[in-house]
Amino acid sequence: MSMTMDDSIKRWTAKRKTALVIWIIQGKTTVAEASRSFDLTPSEIEGWVEDAKRGMENSLRANPLDIREQYEKQLKDLRGKPTARPCWRSAREKSAGSAGCGRSSHGAATGPRPMARK
């Protein structure tokens, strides 16, 4: 691999990361070659490439998102679907002060009540 970067880089600045990502995108090197040459993990380099792609996509939008919006969108995508179903209490439960959804008014789970033995 013919890179002009110093092979003994101790700190990867944004400028160096950008140069490496551009070389990968242009096909001048591969993730595997860069990983071996600079003693980096392939997943670390692939993360830089993905970050760069997201940044390029955003910069080419008609109305680019600001950094906070990008971060919030990324968090939303990572969270995926909600893990718990929403609790829908009836109006009667709300007015009676019941916590609903299998919980007592102090928040402890009550669960189903056992049947009385005869």
Sorting pLDDT into bands at 50, 70 and 90, what band is 24? very high
Separation of alpha carbons 45 and 28, rounded Å: 15
- pTM exceeding the 0.75 threshold for the entire prediction: no
| Three-state secondary structure call for residue 100 | strand
pLDDT for the residue 45: 97
What counts of helices (H) and strands (E) characterise the chain? 5, 0
Sorting pLDDT into bands at 50, 70 and 90, what band is 98? low
**pLDDT one-digit tens code per residue, 36-55:** 999 999 999 999 999 999 88
pLDDT for the residue 34: 96
Top pLDDT among 94 and 80 is at 80
pLDDT for the residue 25: 95
Averaged confidence pLDDT in the chain: 77
How many other CB atoms are there within 10 angstroms of residue 31's CB atom?
19
Rounded to the nearest 5 degrees, what angle is found at the Cα of 37, between the Cα atoms of 33 and 38? Answer: 120
| Three-state secondary structure call for residue 109 | strand
pLDDT for the residue 80: 78
Contact 21, 46 (CB under 8 A): no
